[in-house]
Amino acid sequence: LTGRPEGNWPGLALTDPRLDLVAIARGFGATAERIEHRHELAAALNDLWERAEGRPAVLVVPVSGRTPPVGYPLR
């Protein structure tokens, strides 16, 4: 799926199969964590900076809502 310009982020509407972004990042040698709730963000960002010392670090943050069109339709 490539997403819809009025909804999903183009290229990121991947649901079947659902990608495990944490596992993918770890497979490339990065430390990786995922949060599920907004109240976890501040602590997760602090942890991210610590994990990023000398190596790649990834924080997966799910977002919801609609994405406004960007550059669509092509004219």
The pLDDT assigned to 68 comes to 62
Q: How far apart are CA 73 and CA 75, in angstroms?
A: 6
Averages of pLDDT over runs of 10 residues in the chain (75 residues) are 52 69 95 95 96 94 71 55
DSSP-assigned letters across all residues of 13-36: --BTTBP-HHHHHHHTT-EEEE--
Return the pLDDT at 19.
Answer: 84
- Give the pLDDT of residue 32: 97
Residue 27's nearest CA partner among 58, 2, 71 is 58
